[in-house]
């Protein structure tokens, strides 16, 4: 009874966070919104109308947003941004509900659960990527952990499937929690079979109908080598630290503390044995999963996009709060454990969370632009260009300037780049198969077995070009970005 307020408090935090950021969504967030819009309005899995694509990294996120967008059509037009607000509230509430179960399972103080929610929801990297699946990921992972703690293999299997449908790369975390938890290992085939039944329909549809089992974003991002210069995923936090040190310190503080807690647990685990101590394997699996995720991503050759850091920072910070909370609860029952140390650690976690709140509010209320931002134009300017571009093109196609999400969402026209035009994906796949090693070639051939890798390039009628400075001629739009300053887009014939 005393924990029932936690999901509602979390949902309220989600609502407040959405009101804060709703007018400053990042361009990649609009890619997801464009997919949801086309799914709800046209019944298509597409970034631009009439052109099937498979560049949505999170199928579950698009499906949920598409369903909620469909519900908004009851009043007439589709409203994907409103659907995003609803999904943000629901995801935050689900996160709070998962913490409620964990608080009950380990008899923790309720405020520990609130801290666990807060340290995720106010993460500046997460809020700067609203529109993507960044809040859905920690919510589902905490539910996965809760069912592992409760020893419920069937529900664990359901949420393992939902986890990989949210992001396939989260299989790393799923596997570690699975094999860390005795109750799941003992009923492995029950959990595995349930997961396959839930996830297989989508992946088979994706493989046969969309042409690839894994979304195209993996090969697209790997093909962007050099986009960030010498910086890669592993060194990315240093890159962000160089221009936003305070934000990076507060965002990664929980994860660094979590790694320290993980090492401390390993030392204690092998130095001393408590037979009646709570089973911590699923919780440790969550922390190890976050660390392993960071390591695996560091080997994939992808750039340091800020939303890629949400999973490890949120996962490891949640693990740290949960472990120290358990330490605090056990110190009240064991004379040999003192409360001062865990209380101090949790106090520092509150300071970290409130520090992130300060960073978020210092950006402005509501945000004029995300804290972490690199787009060429604000979402408002992109929306203006997209609407006017749609009126100007009269059904013609245009090669995108390199950022497509907001333009495609507002234009409702044929904006073509590698995310919307699969003939460009075919070119990347052919190149990779010709140049990669044997294992990579085999994986690509299997993944793209049903995909037409020899399709010809699509005809492009216009090009939309970006340059610095204000617009000076016809078919040109001046835009502003907090990251890039004043610039302009110009529409020119392709030939």
Q: In this predicted model, what pLDDT tens digit does every residue of 16-57 receive, in sequence order?
A: 999 999 999 999 999 999 999 999 999 999 999 999 999 999
**3-class SS shares of the chain: helix, strand, coil, % to 5:** 65, 5, 30
> In 94-126, which positions are buried (b, 16+ CB within 10 angstroms) versus exposed (e)?
bbbbbbbbbbbbbebebebbbbbbbbbbbbbbb
Sign, Cα dihedral of 461, 466, 472, 478: positive
CA distance 178 to 107: 23
Cβ–Cβ under 8 Å, residues 52 and 154: no
Q: Is the pTM of this model over 0.85?
A: yes
Tens digit of each residue's pLDDT (9 = 90 or more) over 73-121: 987 899 999 999 999 999 999 999 999 999 999 999 999 999 999 999 9
Sign, Cα dihedral of 433, 438, 439, 443: positive
Task: Retrieve residue 364's tokens.
Answer: 């402005």
Q: Who contacts 289 (Cβ-Cβ below 8 Å, separation ≥6)?
A: 141, 172, 173, 174, 176, 177, 315
CA distance 250 to 353: 8
Q: Who contacts 445 (Cβ-Cβ below 8 Å, separation ≥6)?
A: 433
Task: Retrieve residue 153's tokens.
Answer: 């293999």
Task: From first to last of the 495 residues of the chain, give the pLDDT tens digit.
Answer: 567 899 999 999 999 999 999 999 999 999 999 999 999 999 999 999 999 999 999 999 999 999 999 999 987 899 999 999 999 999 999 999 999 999 999 999 999 999 999 999 999 999 999 999 999 999 999 999 999 999 999 999 999 999 999 999 999 999 999 999 999 999 999 999 999 999 999 999 999 999 999 999 999 998 887 788 889 999 999 999 999 999 999 999 999 999 999 999 888 776 666 555 567 899 999 999 999 999 999 999 889 999 999 999 999 999 999 999 999 998 877 776 788 999 999 999 999 999 999 999 999 999 999 999 999 999 999 999 999 999 999 989 999 999 999 999 999 999 999 999 999 999 999 999 999 999 999 999 999 999 999 999 999 999 999 999 999 888 999 999 999 999 999 999 987
- In the block, residue with structure tokens 């029952």: 333
Residue 5's pLDDT is 94
Q: How do beta strands 414-416 and 397-399 pair?
A: parallel
């Amino acid at each position: 009874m005393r924990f029932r307020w936690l999901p509602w408090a979390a949902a309220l935090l989600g609502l407040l966070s959405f009101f804060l950021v709703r007018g400053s969504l990042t361009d990649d967030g609009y890619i997801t919104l464009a997919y949801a819009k086309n799914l709800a309005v046209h019944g298509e899995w597409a970034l631009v109308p009439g052109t099937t694509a498979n560049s949505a990294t999170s199928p579950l996120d698009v499906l949920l947003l598409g369903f909620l967008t469909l519900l908004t059509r009851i009043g007439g037009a589709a409203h994907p941004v409103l659907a995003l607000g609803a999904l943000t509230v629901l995801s935050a509430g689900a996160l709070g509900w998962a913490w409620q179960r964990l608080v009950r399972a380990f008899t923790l103080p309720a405020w520990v659960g609130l801290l666990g929610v807060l340290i995720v929801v106010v993460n500046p990297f997460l809020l700067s990527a609203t529109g993507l699946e960044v809040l859905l990921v920690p919510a589902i992972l905490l539910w996965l952990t809760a069912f592992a703690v409760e020893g419920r293999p069937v529900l664990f299997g359901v949420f393992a499937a939902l986890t990989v449908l949210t992001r396939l790369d989260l299989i790393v975390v799923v596997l570690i929690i699975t094999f860390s938890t005795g109750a799941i290992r003992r009923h492995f085939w029950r959990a595995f079979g349930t997961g396959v039944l839930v996830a297989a329909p989508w992946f088979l549809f994706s493989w046969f109908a969309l042409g690839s089992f894994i979304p195209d974003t993996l090969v697209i991002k790997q093909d962007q080598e050099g986009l960030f210069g010498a910086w890669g995923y592993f060194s990315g936090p240093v890159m962000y630290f160089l221009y936003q040190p305070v934000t990076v310190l507060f965002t990664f503080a929980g994860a660094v503390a979590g790694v320290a807690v993980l090492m401390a647990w390993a030392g204690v685990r092998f130095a001393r044995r408590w037979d009646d101590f709570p089973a911590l394997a699923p919780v440790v699996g969550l922390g190890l999963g976050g660390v392993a995720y960071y390591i695996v991503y560091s080997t994939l050759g992808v750039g340091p996009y800020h939303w890629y850091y949400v999973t490890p920072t949120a996962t490891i910070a949640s693990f740290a709060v949960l472990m120290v909370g358990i330490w605090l609860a056990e110190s009240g029952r064991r004379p040999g454990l003192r409360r001062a140390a865990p209380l101090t650690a949790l106090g520092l976690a509150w300071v970290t969370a409130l520090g992130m709140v300060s960073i978020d509010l210092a950006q402005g209320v509501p945000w004029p632009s995300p804290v972490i931002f690199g787009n060429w134009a604000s979402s408002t300017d992109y929306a203006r260009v997209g609407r006017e571009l749609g009126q100007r093109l009269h059904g013609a196609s245009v090669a995108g300037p390199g950022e497509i999400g907001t333009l495609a969402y507002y234009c409702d026209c044929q904006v073509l780049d590698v995310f919307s035009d699969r003939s460009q994906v075919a070119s990347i796949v052919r190149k990779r198969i010709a140049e990669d090693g044997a294992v990579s070639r085999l994986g690509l051939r299997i993944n793209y077995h049903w995909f037409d890798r020899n399709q010809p390039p699509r005809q492009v009628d216009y090009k939309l070009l970006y340059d610095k400075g204000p617009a000076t001629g016809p078919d040109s739009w001046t835009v502003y970005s907090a990251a890039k300053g004043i610039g302009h887009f110009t529409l020119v014939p392709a030939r």
